[in-house]
C-alpha cells in the first residue's frame, strides 16, 4: 500500500509541475497551489492509513471514519465540482463545434470522451487533428473544440475530472447537413398543354440531415396540392425525397416561373430551383359587334379576335347554329334583321391543340311581328271566353284589345278575357300591337267570337204571286251550332227538304252571316200553281239545334193580271211612237243626201225610168236641160236602201223587217221638204180601255 501512495505522490508531483510550468510568472497562484497540494497530501496519507488498517478493525470503524473524513475535508476547503457542463449542440457540417466545461476547486487532469473513448489529457489532443481544448486551466476552463465538423463527429461527449472522479452529463453533438439544390424533372423549361392535368416532380438527393422538405412557390406564394414521397436506402438512411405538384395549367400560365425549394433545419432559407412553363393552348376568343344596337336593315360588322399557341389555323362563322356560307377570316359583315336578336352569331377559332367558340346576339330594334295570332272562339251563352295573341318586337310592343268598329279598349296584354258572354258579345275582336320606342310601325290581328244560341229565324220579303202561277217564300236562319233541320209548315202539312205535291224546299248558304252568329242559311219554299187558299194561310219557317228552337211566319202576297197588262201596253205604245219619229227623220235626211251625190261614177249608177224624185234638189230648169237618158232619180245600185214596187212607186226598206212601214205620199210642198205626209202602222194594241 505504501507503493500505491508513492505512485499517487509521483503523479501529483508530475501534475503539479506541469501546472506550475504553465503558470510561470504568477506568484499568487503558486502559493494557492502549494496549499492545495499540501491538502491533497494530507488526504492521501489519511487514505493510506485507512488502507493499512486490518480487516475486522476496518469493518467496525468505517462509519466513524467516513464521518471523520467528511468533517476533515469540510474543514480543509471546497471540493472539486463543475462550474459549467457541456450542453447538447447542433452544428452545421464544416463549421466549428464548441463544447464548454468549467471546474471549480480542481487542478488535476481533465479529459474529454467521445462516445466513451478518451480523447487524451493534453490540450492539443494529439491524434485528433481537428480537436483541441481551449480555456485557462488555472481557471478551470476546459472547452472542447472541433473544426471543421464532420459527420463522424456526431456523438456523445463527456468532460471528466479524472483525479476527482467527476464526470459531466453527456452532451450530444448533432451534425446538420444542408440540402443541395433540388432538381425538377423536365426543367428548366417544361412544355405543357392548357387544360390537361399534369404532375410536376421535384427531387432532392444527397445526405442532407435532417431530411429536407420540398415546397413549391409561384411569385413568392406557396402552392398547395402537393404530395411528398421519401425513399430510404438499405441502411435505413434517407436516400432521396420527392415532391409532386398536381396542376391544371391555363393559357395564363404561359411563361410563368415555378420554384421548388428544399428547406431544412440545416438551411432554413432553403435552396431553390426554378422552372419556366411553356404552354400550348387552344385559341382564346373574344367576339365583338359594331354597332351592337342597330335598327333593322342596318349593316353590322363582327370582329373575332383570338390568341393561341401554336397560331390560329382557321375560322368558322355560324348564325343560330347554322354555318354562314362563304364567311372566312376574323371579320364578318351582315345586314341586321329581327332574327339576329334570338339567333346569336358565333365564331369558332381552331389551332392544332383545339378550338374555342364565342357567340353574341345583336340588339336589333324592329317593329311588332305577330308570333301567335288569336284563334276563333265558340262558346255557349253565359260562359267565359278568352283570346290570346303573341307579338314580338324590340322594344316589346304594347298590346291592346278592341272590338272591330269600336274605339273602346277592352283590355291590354297578351290575353283578353270576357266573362259570361251573351249574344251581344258576338263579333270580331282586334288584337293591336303598338310599337315601342323604336317607332317601327304596328300591327293588328282579329278573331271572331261566336256565341252559341238557339236559332234566329227571319222571314225574307217575297214577291206577290199570280193566282195559278208560281210563288216563292224565303227565310233566313242564323244558328250556332248549325241547325239540325229547317222545316216549313202550313195548315195541312210540313216539309223539311225535297218536294211534296205542289211544294218544294231548297236550302242555300247565306251570302254573308252576321258577325258572331254562326253560319247563315236561306231556306226557300217553292209553290207551283197557287190556289186561293195559299194567299190566306200562314207558312211557318222553323229551325232547331241543341240549344233550342226558333221560327218565323211568312205569308204570300197576291198580284192581279189587268193592271199589269195596261201598264205593259202603255209602255209599249210610247216606245213605238218614239221609234217611228226617229226612223222618219233619219230616212228623210238619208234620201236628201243621196240626191246630191256625184254623177262621176256612172258605172255604179242607174236611172229609174218613169219616176220623179219628190225630194230632188234640182229646179225645173235643170230637169229640162238634162238629157232623156239622165231623167229620173239617181241611186247607188250597190248600197241603195230603196226598192221598186209593182205599182212603180218608191218604197223605203223597212229597218224593222215589216213591223213598221213608212210611205211617202204626194209631192213635197217645197224643195226643202223631205216628207209631206207620214203614215204609221203598228201591229200592236191600238186601243186601251
Within-domain flag for 683: no
The answer on 343 and 484 residing in a single domain is no
pLDDT band at 461 (very low <50, low <70, confident <90, very high): confident
CB neighbours of 586 closer than 8 A, spacing ≥ 6? none
The answer on 251 and 373 residing in a single domain is no
Within-domain flag for 561: no
Within-domain flag for 2: no
The answer on 388 and 346 residing in a single domain is no
282-331 confidence digits (pLDDT tens): 899 999 999 999 998 999 999 999 999 899 999 999 999 999 998 989 99
Domain that residue 383 falls in: 368-451
- The DSSP 8-state label assigned to residue 629 in this structure reads G
CB neighbours of 322 closer than 8 A, spacing ≥ 6? none
The answer on 343 and 238 residing in a single domain is yes
Can you tell me which residue has the cell 367558340? 357
The answer on 335 and 187 residing in a single domain is yes
Within-domain flag for 577: no
Q: Is the pLDDT of residue 523 over 70?
A: yes
Question: Which of 87, 109, 89 lies closest to 97, judged by CA?
Answer: 89
647-659 confidence digits (pLDDT tens): 333 333 443 344 3
The answer on 197 and 339 residing in a single domain is yes
More confident residue, 99 or 233: 99
Last residue of a domain, one of 532, 554, 576: 554
Q: Is the pLDDT of residue 429 over 80?
A: yes
**Under 8 Å between Cβ of 391 and 368:** yes
**Under 8 Å between Cβ of 283 and 310:** no
Q: Is the pLDDT of residue 488 over 60?
A: yes
Mean of the per-residue pLDDT values for the chain?
Answer: 76
The answer on 411 and 344 residing in a single domain is no
30-41 confidence digits (pLDDT tens): 444 444 445 545
Phi and psi at 581, nearest 5°, equal -60, -45
**Under 8 Å between Cβ of 632 and 626:** no
The answer on 190 and 331 residing in a single domain is yes
Last residue of a domain, one of 428, 451, 474: 451
The answer on 225 and 326 residing in a single domain is yes
59-117 confidence digits (pLDDT tens): 444 444 444 444 444 445 689 999 999 999 999 999 999 999 999 999 889 999 999 99
The answer on 313 and 221 residing in a single domain is yes
Q: Is the pLDDT of residue 663 over 90?
A: no
Tell me the C-alpha distance between 681 and 656, whole Å.
Answer: 12
Tell me the C-alpha distance between 286 and 7, whole Å.
Answer: 102
Tell me the C-alpha distance between 534 and 466, whole Å.
Answer: 11
364-419 confidence digits (pLDDT tens): 998 888 999 999 999 999 999 999 999 988 888 899 999 998 889 999 999 999 99
Looking at residue 200, its pLDDT comes to: 92
103-118 confidence digits (pLDDT tens): 999 988 999 999 999 9
More confident residue, 135 or 230: 135
Within-domain flag for 143: yes
The answer on 136 and 155 residing in a single domain is yes
Within-domain flag for 679: no
Task: Give the β-pairing of 198-204 and 183-184.
Answer: antiparallel
Task: Give the β-pairing of 226-232 and 293-295.
Answer: unpaired
Counted domains in the chain: 4
Q: Is the pLDDT of residue 173 over 60?
A: yes
- The DSSP 8-state label assigned to residue 423 in this structure reads G
Tell me the C-alpha distance between 590 and 578, whole Å.
Answer: 19
CB neighbours of 354 closer than 8 A, spacing ≥ 6? 195, 282, 283
Question: Which of 336, 331, 369 lies closest to 347, judged by CA?
Answer: 331
Share of the chain above pLDDT 70, in %: 70
pLDDT band at 561 (very low <50, low <70, confident <90, very high): low
Instruction: Average the pLDDT over each of 82-86, 555-559, 568-572 and give the range with the smallest value.
Output: 568-572
**Residue 594 burial (CB count, 10 A):** 17
Displacement of CA 39 from its chain's centroid (Å): 107
CB neighbours of 573 closer than 8 A, spacing ≥ 6? 684, 685, 688
The beta strand positions in 563-631, using DSSP E, are 605-607
Last residue of a domain, one of 315, 342, 361: 361
Within-domain flag for 54: no
**Residue 662 burial (CB count, 10 A):** 20
Looking at residue 686, its pLDDT comes to: 32
Share of the chain above pLDDT 90, in %: 42
Within-domain flag for 377: yes
**Under 8 Å between Cβ of 145 and 133:** yes
The answer on 322 and 214 residing in a single domain is yes
More confident residue, 354 or 565: 354
**Under 8 Å between Cβ of 134 and 102:** no
What CATH number is associated with residue 191? Answer: 2.60.40.10
Looking at residue 4, its pLDDT comes to: 30
The beta strand positions in 465-578, using DSSP E, are 465-466, 471-480, 485-490, 493-495, 498-500, 503-509, 520-527, 539-545, 548-554, 558-559
**Residue 458 burial (CB count, 10 A):** 14
Kind plus residue range of the DSSP H or E element containing 360: strand 355-360
CB-based burial of residue 260 (10 Å sphere; 0-12 exposed, 13-18 middle, 19+ buried)? buried
Burial 467-487 (b: 16+ CB within 10 A, else e): eeeebebbbbbbbbbebeebb
Amino acid at each position: 500500500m505504501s507503493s500505491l501512495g508513492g505512485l499517487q505522490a509521483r503523479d501529483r508531483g508530475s501534475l503539479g509541475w506541469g501546472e506550475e510550468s504553465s503558470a510561470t510568472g504568477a506568484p499568487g497562484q503558486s502559493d494557492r497551489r502549494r496549499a492545495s497540494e499540501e491538502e491533497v497530501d494530507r488526504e492521501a496519507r489519511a487514505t493510506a492509513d485507512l488502507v493499512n488498517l486490518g480487516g475486522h478493525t476496518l469493518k467496525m470503524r468505517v462509519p466513524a471514519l467516513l464521518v471523520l473524513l467528511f468533517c476533515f475535508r469540510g474543514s480543509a476547503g471546497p471540493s472539486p465540482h463543475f462550474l459549467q457542463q457541456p450542453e447538447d449542440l447542433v452544428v452545421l457540417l464544416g463549421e466549428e463545434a464548441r463544447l464548454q466545461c468549467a471546474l471549480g476547486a480542481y487542478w488535476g487532469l481533465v479529459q474529454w470522451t467521445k462516445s466513451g473513448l478518451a480523447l487524451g489529457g493534453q490540450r492539443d489532443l494529439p491524434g485528433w487533428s481537428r480537436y483541441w481544448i481551449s480555456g485557462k486551466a488555472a481557471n478551470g476552463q476546459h472547452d472542447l473544440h472541433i473544426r471543421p465538423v464532420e459527420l463522424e463527429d456526431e456523438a456523445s461527449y463527456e468532460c471528466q475530472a479524472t483525479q476527482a472522479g467527476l464526470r459531466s452529463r453527456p452532451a450530444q453533438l448533432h451534425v446538420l447537413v444542408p440540402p443541395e439544390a433540388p432538381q425538377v424533372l423536365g426543367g428548366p423549361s417544361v412544355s405543357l398543354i392548357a387544360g390537361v392535368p399534369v404532375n410536376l416532380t421535384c427531387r432532392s438527393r444527397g445526405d442532407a440531415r435532417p431530411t429536407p422538405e420540398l415546397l413549391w412557390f409561384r411569385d413568392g406564394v406557396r402552392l398547395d396540392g402537393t404530395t411528398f414521397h421519401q425513399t430510404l436506402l438499405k441502411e435505413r438512411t434517407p436516400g432521396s425525397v420527392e415532391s409532386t405538384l398536381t396542376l391544371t395549367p391555363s393559357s395564363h400560365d404561359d411563361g410563368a416561373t415555378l420554384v421548388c425549394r428544399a428547406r431544412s433545419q440545416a438551411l432554413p432559407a432553403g435552396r431553390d430551383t426554378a422552372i419556366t412553363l411553356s404552354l400550348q393552348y387552344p385559341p382564346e376568343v373574344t367576339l365583338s359587334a359594331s354597332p351592337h344596337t342597330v335598327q333593322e336593315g342596318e349593316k353590322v360588322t363582327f370582329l373575332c379576335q383570338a390568341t393561341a399557341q401554336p397560331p390560329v389555323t382557321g375560322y368558322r362563322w355560324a348564325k343560330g347554329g347554322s354555318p354562314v356560307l362563304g364567311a372566312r377570316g376574323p371579320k364578318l359583315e351582315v345586314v341586321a334583321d329581327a332574327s339576329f336578336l334570338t339567333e346569336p352569331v358565333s365564331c369558332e377559332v381552331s389551332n392544332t391543340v383545339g378550338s374555342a367558340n364565342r357567340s353574341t346576339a345583336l340588339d336589333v330594334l324592329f317593329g311588332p311581328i305577330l308570333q301567335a295570332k288569336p284563334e276563333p272562339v265558340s262558346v255557349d251563352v253565359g260562359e267565359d271566353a278568352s283570346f290570346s295573341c303573341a307579338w314580338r318586337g324590340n322594344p316589346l310592343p304594347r298590346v291592346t284589345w278592341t272590338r272591330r268598329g269600336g274605339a273602346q279598349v277592352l283590355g291590354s296584354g297578351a290575353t283578353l278575357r270576357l266573362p259570361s258572354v251573351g249574344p251581344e258579345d258576338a263579333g270580331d275582336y282586334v288584337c293591336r300591337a303598338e310599337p315601342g320606342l323604336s317607332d317601327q310601325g304596328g300591327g293588328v290581328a282579329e278573331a271572331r267570337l261566336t256565341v252559341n244560341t238557339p236559332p234566329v229565324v227571319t222571314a225574307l220579303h217575297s214577291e206577290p204571286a199570280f193566282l195559278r202561277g208560281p210563288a216563292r217564300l224565303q227565310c233566313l236562319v242564323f244558328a250556332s251550332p248549325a241547325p239540325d233541320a229547317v222545316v216549313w209548315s202550313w195548315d195541312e202539312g210540313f216539309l223539311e227538304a225535297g218536294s211534296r205535291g205542289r211544294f218544294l224546299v231548297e236550302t242555300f248558304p247565306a251570302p254573308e252571316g252576321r258577325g258572331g252568329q254562326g253560319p247563315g242559311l236561306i231556306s226557300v219554299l217553292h209553290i207551283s200553281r197557287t190556289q186561293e187558299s195559299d194567299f190566306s194561310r200562314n207558312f211557318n219557317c222553323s229551325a232547331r239545334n241543341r240549344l233550342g228552337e226558333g221560327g218565323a211566319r211568312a205569308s204570300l202576297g197576291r198580284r192581279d193580271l189587268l193592271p199589269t197588262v195596261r201598264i205593259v201596253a202603255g209602255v209599249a205604245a210610247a216606245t213605238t211612237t218614239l221609234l217611228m219619229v226617229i226612223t222618219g227623220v233619219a230616212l228623210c235626211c238619208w234620201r236628201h243626201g243621196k240626191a246630191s251625190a256625184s254623177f262621176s261614177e256612172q258605172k255604179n249608177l242607174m236611172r229609174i225610168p218613169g219616176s220623179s224624185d219628190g225630194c230632188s234638189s234640182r229646179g225645173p230648169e235643170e230637169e229640162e236641160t238634162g238629157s232623156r237618158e239622165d231623167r229620173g232619180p239617181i241611186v247607188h245600185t250597190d248600197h241603195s236602201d230603196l226598192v221598186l214596187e209593182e205599182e212603180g212607186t218608191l218604197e223605203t226598206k223597212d229597218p224593222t223587217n215589216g213591223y213598221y212601214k213608212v210611205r211617202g205620199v204626194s209631192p213635197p210642198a217645197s224643195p226643202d221638204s223631205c216628207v209631206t205626209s207620214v203614215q204609221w202602222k203598228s201591229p200592236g194594241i191600238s186601243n186601251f180601255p
